[in-house]
Amino acid sequence: DFHINNSIKYESNQTIINPDVDYTNLNSSIFLPLIPDIAIHYRCGDNIPSDTYGFLPFSTISELIKFSNTSVNYIYVLSDPPDRVRVFGDPNRFSLNCDNILKHLHEHLIEKFSSSVVVVKRNDDPLV
């Protein structure tokens, strides 16, 4: 057990949602498992300005999840914080685009996996 800001106590096998930057289809004040069934590392801010990298279509992501044959109760999309300073200059230059992409990915995953908890984590949570 440990405390954050001397007020929130939780187990070391749990994580919390920061409602300022994360989103979920659940009440954001509940504790979630530290390790989800599916974790997607989505490097949005690095991919937007690149002519070398790109994004997988959302349908490919959901098909890969279905192909995993895993019981999918929790899906976490882990991405960079919205205020992360980027190598490419202005730290806010791509934040709005990333936010829009991640919100649409969140909606897509909720639609495809309606019985799952879908979380987009964009904070600097020490447990994730």
DSSP state of 86: P
pLDDT tens digits, one per residue of 13-33: 778 787 788 888 887 667 788
Q: Which of 46-50, 103-107, 115-119 has the least mean pLDDT?
A: 46-50
- Please name the amino acid found at residue 95: S
Task: Report how far residue 80's alpha carbon sits from residue 83's, in angstroms, rounded to the nearest whole number.
Answer: 8
pLDDT tens digits, one per residue of 26-52: 876 677 888 899 999 887 766 666 667
Average pLDDT over residues 66-93: 75
The residues with which 3 forms a beta bridge, in sequence order, are 9
User: Tokens at residue 1, please?
Assistant: 């057990």
Beta strands 14-15 and 8-10, pairing class? unpaired
Q: Residue 52 contacts by C-beta under 8 Å, 6 or more apart in sequence?
A: none
**Shortest CA distance to 110 belongs to which of 84, 77, 71, 81?**
77
Residue that wins the pLDDT comparison between 108 and 28: 108
